[in-house]
Amino acid sequence: MAKTKSFADKAIKYFTSLSPAEKLPAGISIINPYKTIPVKTIVKQFFKKFYSDKRERLFVIGINPGRFGGGLTGISFTDPVALREKCRIENDLGTRKELSSIFIYKVIESISNTEKFF
């Protein structure tokens, strides 16, 4: 009997296997942080920490491809500072904050806390 995978296992597989479906036009490029070893490590740590279960989830995916937020960390709406301070995941991706990350983590704190929210 096949073992059912956790949400973390499914998310990690999804994010670390993303690639563009088609060749892009000249002058267009994609920021794909999921191809780098540091981001793959962060994605694994994040999802294993918060989603290592089989509970049904409502997963909100937003467009936050900024080079200082999700485009750098691989975690939607999360800059390196929030990753360290709010999620307690160490990283060497810098100390620059990103506006959407600041906003999202204020919303999270107004609801509960990072552990409960995720």
Q: For 66-117, write each residue's pLDDT tens digit.
A: 777 888 898 988 999 999 999 999 999 999 999 889 999 999 999 999 998 8
Residue 94 has a pLDDT of 93
The reply to whether 80 falls in a domain is yes
- Residue 64's pLDDT band (cuts 50, 70, 90): low
The reply to whether 19 falls in a domain is no
Closest CA to 35 of 60, 18, 58, 14: 18
- Residue 18's pLDDT band (cuts 50, 70, 90): confident
Domain holding 108, by residue range, is: 7-12+30-117
Residue 29 has a pLDDT of 79
Residue 62 has a pLDDT of 64
The reply to whether 21 falls in a domain is no
How many separate domains does the chain show? 1
- Residue 1's pLDDT band (cuts 50, 70, 90): low
Residue 32 has a pLDDT of 82
Measured over the CA atoms of residue 42, residue 48, residue 54 and residue 55, the dihedral's sign is negative
The reply to whether 25 falls in a domain is no
**What are the tens digits of pLDDT across the range 28-48?**
877 788 889 999 999 999 999
pTM for the predicted model, two decimal places: 0.84
The reply to whether 17 falls in a domain is no
